[in-house]
Amino acid sequence: MRSFLAATWKRGQIRSLSLALALLSGAGFAQAWGGELAPPVVDFSGTLIKQVEGRRHQAQVFAKGDRIRLEYKYALKTDYGYAAIEIIRLDKAETWYLLAQRKELLVTPVDADDVLPVWPALPGEKERVLVGEAMAVGRAAQLFEVRTDRHGRVERFFEWVDVEAGIVLKLMSRDRNWSVEYERIRFSPQPDYYFDEPPGYKKRASPAGPGVQG
């Protein structure tokens, strides 16, 4: 896992919230994290809030198994135009950016070093300490302090895990200068078409990534 802060947000870039979110289950979970056993599939929707050094960004999120749809409040600027919708297909190891003006689907590979899991186990996790019972976004949670070491970078997190669903409701750096969390989270079935290729769009492959800018 590349550091949220050092790799992207500290430079002030409004990067894709996929850097903060990947629903790792099924084949996508196994591929990204070396074949570990996947947790149960959970469908949900909500508002994902990212706060970085006092700046607040948000997107609507819809998750179904190893597929995620993000609808941004402000469109992302890529090297090929603006994208207000991003679809993450971990079953295909791909991320899709919908370029509405071009009617194109910008396809890039998923980079496991650039995602944090919705599920509690973090890549490179070395230590997990239960702090106690807590509340997060109006739901009962367990609060953990987690230490990771990935590619020689040691990081510490506070993590709120939903007692009922087992997903991460909130994740915050120990120095508290960034966090991601949900508002108005709702557990309910999500339609398949949210995560399919939109009709009438042409695919554009970008192996080097989308070149998302702030």
pLDDT above 70 covers what percent of the chain?
74
Domain membership flag for residue 83? yes
* pLDDT of residue 207 exceeding 80: no
Domain membership flag for residue 148? no
Q: pLDDT for 158-167, tens place per residue?
A: 999 999 988 8
Q: pLDDT for 93-106, tens place per residue?
A: 899 999 999 999 99
Domain membership flag for residue 155? no
- pLDDT for residue 33: 38
Evaluate whether 104 touches 111 at the Cβ level (below 8 Å): no
Domain membership flag for residue 144? no
Domain membership flag for residue 112? yes
Domain membership flag for residue 94? yes
Confidence of residue 115 (pLDDT cuts 50, 70, 90): low
* pLDDT of residue 71 exceeding 70: yes
Domain membership flag for residue 23? yes
Evaluate whether 16 touches 76 at the Cβ level (below 8 Å): yes
Kindly report the pTM of this predicted structure: 0.76
Residue 105: domain span: 4-118+180-205
Alpha carbon distances (Å) from 171 to 2, 49, 53, 94: 15, 11, 15, 24
Q: CB burial class (10 A; 0-12, 13-18, 19+) of residue 64? A: buried
* pLDDT of residue 28 exceeding 80: no
Confidence of residue 50 (pLDDT cuts 50, 70, 90): confident
The total domain count for the chain is 1
